[in-house]
Amino acid sequence: MDLVLDPPRGVAPVLLGMTLDEALAAVPDWGEPRVLRRPSRNSAKASWTLDHVGVQALVEGGTLVTAIELWWPGQGRTSRTRVLLHGDEVFTTPAVDLFRRAADRGWTVDTSHPEHPVIAGVSLGFTRQTSQEVERDADGLPRYVTSVLVGGEDYYGHRCPERR
């Protein structure tokens, strides 16, 4: 299975702006999700595992999906599920190459927080940290990203204060 990142729209068939129920109905073949609703915080999330790749649809402070996050399967695990960004497999393409190709597309990659680089213009956020023993680059960061988040156009400017 291929999960194609389509920033800032989502990861089809789950799109930002859907209600959580619409997102759940869009992916019946993904299996039974784990759903957590927090009415007191006006938030919810639905989680799936697709051949070791974690997927989470997030509803933050409202009723609509505001972000979709995907996780690498983990040390020593392989997966037939690929997470693609313009043809690059996010979890098996070296981060330096992934970010260089993003820059080649005209996107600005903000690496001022090296463990959490973002591409604010298309609202992509990456994680480059893990406690697992993995191959690391010269800066000590994992060679590959360990998660990616697709948010709406203003996600890193308004909804994610630690990234301002």
How confident is the model over 141-155, as pLDDT tens digits? 888 999 999 998 888
Q: Let me know: does 83 contact 16? Beta carbons within 8 Å.
A: no
> pLDDT below 70 — which residues of the chain?
75-76, 158-164
Q: At 14, give phi and psi (nearest 5°).
A: -90, 120
- Expressed in percent and rounded to 5, the helix, strand and coil fractions of the chain are 20, 35, 45
User: Global pTM?
Assistant: 0.89
Rounded distance between C-alpha atoms, residue 131 and residue 93, angstroms: 20
Rounded distance between C-alpha atoms, residue 153 and residue 141, angstroms: 27
How confident is the model over 4-26, as pLDDT tens digits? 999 999 999 999 999 999 999 99
Query: Looking only at Cα atoms, what is the longest distance across the chain?
Result: 45
Q: Which element (helix H / strand E) includes 100?
A: helix 95-104
User: Residues of 123-158 as b/e, b for ≥16 C-beta within 10 angstroms?
Assistant: bbbbbbebeeeeeeeeeebbebbbbbbbbbeebbee
